[in-house]
Structure 1
């Protein structure tokens, strides 16, 4: 692990590289599903339903990944 890289950046980089569909939970309870296109210290760029959204990190509570979608992708790659 690089000394300057934190867990948040590692997770976002993995989601971005794998084009993983994530659900973003906002502090106000709103949810949005999409693929992370890019991120920096302050914002995350999320592609959701063909639209690009620039989301401030301070508004985000949690990222989750649908395990069923991830498992089906792994099964297809094993075939």
Structure 2
């Protein structure tokens, strides 16, 4: 399966292109709100609170659109 066919890449790519504010839920219960700058097979770069964060995907449980920005 190529990277462009993976469901996670479709979600992440759309969120990145639209600059959608999302909430990332981590496996330890922590939450972070931000905008996806980029991503690869193992990591997601998230811009949150005027800082750039590199997050390993294995630490992410779920991500969703921030309810305050949903249309």
Q: TM-score, normalised by structure 2?
A: 0.91
**Deviation, structure 1 residue 24:** 0.2
Q: Number of aligned pairs?
A: 69
More strand by share: 2
Deviation, structure 1 residue 69: 1.5
* Residue 42 (structure 1) shift: 0.3
Take 1:46 and 1:6, find their aligned partners in 2: how far apart are those partners?
20
Hey, which of these two has a bigger chunk of helix by percent? 1
Q: Which residue of 1 aligns with 2:66?
A: 66
Backbone CA RMSD of aligned residues: 1.1
By relative contact order (CA 8 Å, sep 6+), the higher-ranking structure is 2
User: Which structure is larger by alpha-carbon Rg, 1 or 2?
Assistant: 1
TM-score of the aligned structures, taking structure 1 as reference length: 0.82
Q: For structure 1, list consecutive stretches of 5 or more residues without a partner in the other structure.
A: 72-79
